[in-house]
Structure 1
Amino acid sequence: MKNLALLAALPFVVGCGAPPPVSLGKLSGTTWHFTAIDGTAPVGKETSLRFDKGRIGANVGCNGMGADMKIVGGQIIAGPVISTQMFCEGVMDQERAVGALLAAKPKITVRGTMMTLRGGGHSAELHLEG
């Protein structure tokens, strides 16, 4: 009888452990703002990560960057990532980190209005605009 009760509860336990898969359709048309890049608050005042049909765009406070993209198996597949190349004091390291993160096929996790990207030795935490 105990085994039967454990089997009946198994779908609830398994369902609670993994976040639901992220679909591009739910992200398309949304803008997110960086709250941390590699564990540090963004240097730039205006930051964004924008998802559109088959495209991703980012700005960490100076240069804009973007790429064609798709989401496959919980990862963002983007590239090649292109960027403007203006020099901006203090922001360049974070811009390079975000560019490398997007090029590294980061794992994407979305929980409510919070998003986490991890890959290529870099990470970013973002919140949904609004």
Structure 2
Amino acid sequence: MRAAFLAFCLLSPLSACSIQGEDSPLSRTTWRFALIDGQPPDSRDARLSFEGRKVGVQVGCNRMDGPWRIEEERLIAGPLALTEMTCTRPAWDQEKAVNALLVATPRFAIEGNHMILQSSGHTAELVREGGPIERPTDTAEGR
């Protein structure tokens, strides 16, 4: 029954479903930032993780966390608490971009172990950590 509800919510563009916790495809996952607005992250530790009803974000030297849910193909995160340590300029700019992205209730798409978060002003490409690596089917080699 949960699988049917999840499929309906993710595939129906007109549904007003809200998915949280165990029913979400993001539940208990960690994602590494591959690109933030087209640029590689300044830190190799740039991660986004979903545990229970909390999202944790590490981009540079600061950490963000708060509640999250999925609603109508969008990731709703927040309000987010943010530490305020001084970072290098590239890391600081990327932290601000990711914070703005998450506050803007981005659309998200998952294909295999790849996820894209996109709002009107920012985009992040992420790769899932753990488990076997799956590549999207629409790659140059797979066409």
Task: Give 3-state SS (helix, strand or coil) of 1:26's partner.
Answer: coil
Higher helix share: 1
- Given the alignment of the two structures, is residue 62 of structure 1 paired with residue 51 of structure 2, yes or no? no
Q: How does 1:41-52 map to 2 (within 5 A)?
A: 41-52=40-51
Q: Distance in 2 between matches of 1:53 and 1:73?
A: 19
Q: Any unmatched runs of 5+ in structure 1? A: 1-19
| 1:95 maps to amino acid | E
Q: 1:21 aligns with which of 4, 10, 28?
A: 10
Q: Distance in 2 between matches of 1:105 and 1:44?
A: 24
Q: Percent identity?
A: 41
Moved more, 66-75 or 23-32: 23-32
Q: Any unmatched runs of 5+ in structure 2? A: 1-8, 12-18, 131-143
TM-score in terms of structure 1 length: 0.79
TM-score in terms of structure 2 length: 0.73
Q: Distance in 2 between matches of 1:26 and 1:105?
A: 17
Root-mean-square deviation (Å):
1.6
| 1:61 maps to amino acid | G
Which 4+ runs in 1 deviate beyond 3 A?
none
Identify the residue that residue 99 of structure 2 maps to in structure 1. Answer: 99
Which protein has the larger Cα radius of gyration, Structure 1 or Structure 2?
1
